[in-house]
Amino acid sequence: MAKVTYNEDNIRSLDWKEHIRLRPGMYIGKLGNGASPDDGIYILIKEVIDNCIDEYVMGYGREIDISIQEGQVVIRDYGRGIPLGKVVDCVSKINTGGKYDSKAFKKSVGLNGVGTKAVNALSTYFKVQAVREGKTKIAEFEQGNLVKEHRITKSKEENGTTVTFVPDNGIFKNFKFASEYVESQLWNYAYLNAGLKINFNDKTIVSKNGLLDLLNRKTDAETNRYPIIHLKGDDIEIALTHGHQYGEQYHSFVNGQNTTQGGTHLNAFREAIVKTVRDFYNKSYDAKDIRSSIIGAISVRVEEPVFESQTKTKLGSQSVGPDGPTIRTFIGDFVKRNLDNFLHKNPDTAQALLKRIQQSERERKEIAGIKKIANERARKAKVHNKKLRDCRVHLNDKRGDVEKKEQSTIFITEGDSASGSITKARDVQSQAVFSLRGKPLNCFGLTKKVVYQNEEFNLLQHALNIEDGLDDLRFNRVVVATDADVDGMHIRLLLLTFFLQFFPDLVRNGHLYILETPLFRVRDKKQTFYCYSETEKQTAIKKLRGKAEITRFKGLGEISPDEFADFIGEDIRLEPVVMSDNANIESILSYYMGKNTPARQKFIIQNLRVEKDELDGETELEKKLAKETVASS
C-alpha cells in the first residue's frame, strides 16, 4: 500500500462559506433540482421565511411578500428590520443573530444563526436590504462573498427586511421551482400563524382557523367519516378525522416548522390517540384498527427544540423545555383530557369513529389468512426470484452514506429487455430494479385483499417494504420506468392506480416519480444529442445542420446499457407524481379508471397533444387519425 503523508500541510481551515459550499448537505439536507418537496432550493426559501415568521410571532408585521420569477426569489417582511449596523454580519458571519440573548425567542425555530448564511453561500447572487425608522442599508453578495456594501441612506419604505437570492446552478443543477411545492410550504406557514397574510406572486394565502383549515383543505368533507375534531391548548393544537383511504396521514409541526419526518411529538400523538380511544370505548382495539384511515395534524411549541438535522424535519427533543414535562406526557395528557371530553359531548362523532374502527377490524381479520399465505410465498420467492435486483443501501439501514440513502432508488419496469438494460447500467450501490411480468391488474374499486392475492402486487409491496406503512420504506425514490408508447403509458396508469388506491402516503410524501427517457437520438460523426421531445429533436437537427442520423427509441430495451447510464445517472430526469392539497383520490380514480368511458374519451380527445403541433402544425389527416385512434381505444 502506498504511503499517505499526514503533516501540517494536510491540515486546512475553511471559512464559513467554503464549508457550507463544500458540505451543503449538512446545512440544507439533500440538494436536488426541485423535483422533490424536500429538495434544497425549498429549504433556502424556508430559512429566509423562518426569520420573517419570528418577527410576526413577536408582534411585528402581519404580512409577507414573496415573489419567484425565473429562478430568483424575493422575500420581504414588515418586521423591525435587521439593525443597520449589523446587516452584513447577520447574513455572513456564522453563529451571529438576535436570538441567542432573548427569552422571547426560546420557542423559535432558527436559533443557531446558520440559516440565511447558508442561503447566502449557496446563491450566485444574494442581496439583503433592511429598513428601520426612515433609513435603509443594502449589501450584495456572490456565493457568500461581499461584492458591494451600500451606505446607509434615507428611505420612505416601511420597516422590514428584504432578501433576494438566486440559487447556485452549479450546486442545484438544472433547478426549477415547482409552484405547487412552494404554495404547500406557504400554506403551512399560514395554518400555523392564523391571521398572517402571505402574498405569493399573484395569490394571497391566509388562514383564520389554523389546523382546522389545514385538514379542511387536505380532506373532502363528503368522504370524512365524521366532522373534523379541532382542539387547542397552550402550546399545542391538534385536528383529526377518519376517511376511507388506506394508511395513516399526518401533518406535524414544531415551533412552526413542518416536521415531515415526524419525531417524538408525532409518536406521542399517535400513541395518545390509541390510548384515549381504548379508554373511551373500554375495549383494547388493535392500534392499527384505530389509526387506519386517520388524517391528523399536530402543532406544538417547545423551548429550545432539538432536531435530528439542520433541516429540522424530525424532532428529537424528549421534553417541552428544561423544566417542563416530557413531550410524551405533555401531549398524552392533553389528548386524553380534551379528546375524551369531546367524544363524550359529541355522541354522533363517537359513534361514527367506532364504526370506522370496527370496519377496519373486520377488514384486517378478513385478509389475515390470505396475508399469511402470501407473505410466506413472498419470503420463499425472494430466495430464487429475479424480479428484484436489489441495491446495497437502504433507507432503514442505520449505517452507510446518508447522501446515498437519499438517492436510494428502485425502478419499476416491465419485460426482460427493459429491466436488463437498466440493471446493467444502474449504480448497484443505490439503484434497484423490479421487473413486472406483463401489465398489472387494474385494482380500482378492489379491496386490499387483492394486494396479497395478486403475486405481482404482493412481491412489489415486499420489495418496497410498505406493508405496514412507510416507516421502513427501503427506497427514497420509487420510479415508474415504462416505454414511451401506448402500452407503456397503460402500465404507468395501472401502477399509479395501485399506489393511489392502497399506498397513497407514498405519493403524498413525494416518493413516487416517472422516469423520463429520450424519444430520439440525433447524431453525426462528432456529436450526439438525446432528445425528449419533437422540439428538442428539431433543435438538434439544426445544430447538426441537417446532416444527422435519427433514431426513434420505441422501448427501453432498445437503449443500450452504456447509453442508459447517462439517463439514470447525475442528470436523471424524473417527473414527480404530485397530489394537490385538496385532491380526492376516490374521485380521481373513479373518473380515470371507473366505468365512465364516454366522459373519459371526451376528455382524452379534448386534451390530446401531438408533438408536431409545436413546430410546423398538425394536418387535418393527422387530427382525424388521432381522434379515430382514441375512439377505437
CATH number, domain of 244, equals 3.30.230.10
* Mean pLDDT of the chain, nearest integer: 85
541-596 residue pLDDT tens: 999 987 889 998 878 888 888 888 888 988 888 888 987 766 778 878 888 888 87
Q: Which amino acid is at 371?
A: K
Nearest to 110 by CA among 121, 122, 98, 119: 98
Q: In what order do the strands lie in the sheet with 520-523?
A: 528-531, 520-523, 549-552
Nearest to 20 by CA among 35, 32, 36, 31: 31
Asked if residue 341 has pLDDT above 80, the reply is: yes
Give a yes or no: residue 376 inside a domain.
no
Cβ count within 10 A of residue 157: 14
Give a yes or no: residue 498 inside a domain.
yes
Give a yes or no: residue 266 inside a domain.
yes
Give the pLDDT band of residue 298 (cuts 50, 70, 90). very high
Same domain, 468 and 535: no
Q: Are 237 and 229 in contact (CB under 8 A)?
A: no
Which grid coordinates belong to 606?
Answer: 379534448
Which grid coordinates belong to 518?
Answer: 429520450
Which grid coordinates belong to 465?
Answer: 417494504
Give a yes or no: residue 4 inside a domain.
no
Give the pLDDT band of residue 618 (cuts 50, 70, 90). very low
Give a yes or no: residue 502 inside a domain.
yes
Of 96-105, 184-193, 431-440, 450-459, least confident by mean pLDDT is 96-105
| Distinct helix (H) and strand (E) counts, the chain | 22, 23
Give the pLDDT band of residue 37 (cuts 50, 70, 90). confident
Give the pLDDT band of residue 38 (cuts 50, 70, 90). confident
Same domain, 306 and 433: no
Same domain, 422 and 571: yes
DSSP code string of 64-109:
EEEEEETTEEEEEE-SS---GGGHHHHHHSTT--SSTT-GGGTT-S
> How high is the pLDDT of residue 113?
53
Mean pLDDT computed over 151-167: 95
Residue 118, C-beta contacts closer than 8 angstroms, at least 6 positions apart: 20, 24, 27, 28, 44, 47, 310
> How high is the pLDDT of residue 110?
53
Give a yes or no: residue 377 inside a domain.
no
**End-to-end Cα, the chain, rounded Å:** 66
- CA–CA distances in Å: residue 104 to residues 95, 120, 385, 416: 18, 26, 60, 62
Separation of alpha carbons 271 and 275, rounded Å: 6
Separation of alpha carbons 52 and 55, rounded Å: 5
452-487 residue pLDDT tens: 999 899 999 999 999 888 888 999 999 999 987 888
The alpha carbon of residue 578 and the mean position of all alpha carbons in its chain are separated, in whole angstroms, by 9
Strand partners for 372: none
**Domain end position, chosen among 205, 220, 238:** 205
CATH number, domain of 416, equals 3.40.50.670
Q: What percent of the chain has pLDDT over 90?
A: 48
Mean pLDDT computed over 76-101: 80
In SS3 terms, 101-120 reads as CCHHHCCCCCCCCCHHHHHH
Q: Are 436 and 456 in contact (CB under 8 A)?
A: yes
Separation of alpha carbons 584 and 581, rounded Å: 9
Cβ count within 10 A of residue 550: 14
Separation of alpha carbons 297 and 611, rounded Å: 44
Separation of alpha carbons 398 and 255, rounded Å: 28
Separation of alpha carbons 98 and 118, rounded Å: 17
Same domain, 248 and 347: yes
**Domain end position, chosen among 161, 178, 205:** 205
Return phi, psi of residue 128, to 5°: -125, 135
Same domain, 93 and 54: yes
Alpha-helix residue ranges (DSSP H) falling in 568-617: 585-593, 597-606
Q: Using alpha carbons only, how large is the chain's radius of gyration in Å? A: 27
Separation of alpha carbons 498 and 492, rounded Å: 10
Long-range CB contacts (< 8 A, 24+ apart) of 600-608?
A: 601/630, 601/631, 604/630, 605/630, 605/631
Same domain, 224 and 193: no
Give the pLDDT band of residue 5 (cuts 50, 70, 90). low
Which contiguous run of DSSP H or E holds residue 63? strand 63-69
Alpha-helix residue ranges (DSSP H) falling in 509-568: 534-543, 561-567
Domain extent, residue 276, equals 211-363
CATH number, domain of 137, equals 3.30.565.10
Same domain, 125 and 157: yes
* Total residues found in the chain within this entry: 633
Separation of alpha carbons 204 and 219, rounded Å: 21
Mean pLDDT computed over 381-393: 73
Nearest to 530 by CA among 572, 591, 490: 572
**Domain end position, chosen among 184, 205, 226:** 205
Could you give the number of structural domains in the chain?
5
Same domain, 171 and 35: yes
Give a yes or no: residue 7 inside a domain.
no
Give a yes or no: residue 372 inside a domain.
no
Which grid coordinates belong to 316?
Answer: 428529537
Return phi, psi of residue 153, to 5°: -130, 170
Q: Which amino acid is at 18?
A: E
Same domain, 195 and 233: no
Of 7-21, 217-231, 479-493, 535-549, least confident by mean pLDDT is 7-21
Same domain, 537 and 565: no
Which grid coordinates belong to 431?
Answer: 439503484
Same domain, 225 and 296: yes
In SS3 terms, 260-279 reads as CCCEHHHHHHHHHHHHHHHH
Same domain, 260 and 333: yes
502-513 residue pLDDT tens: 998 899 888 999
Alpha-helix residue ranges (DSSP H) falling in 122-205: 179-192
Nearest to 127 by CA among 118, 117, 140: 140
Residue 35, C-beta contacts closer than 8 angstroms, at least 6 positions apart: 178, 513, 574, 575, 576
Which contiguous run of DSSP H or E holds residue 388? strand 388-389
Q: Are 343 and 283 in contact (CB under 8 A)?
A: no
Strand partners for 549: 523
Running DSSP on this structure, what letter comes out for residue 319? B
Mean pLDDT computed over 143-156: 94
Asked if residue 104 has pLDDT above 80, the reply is: no
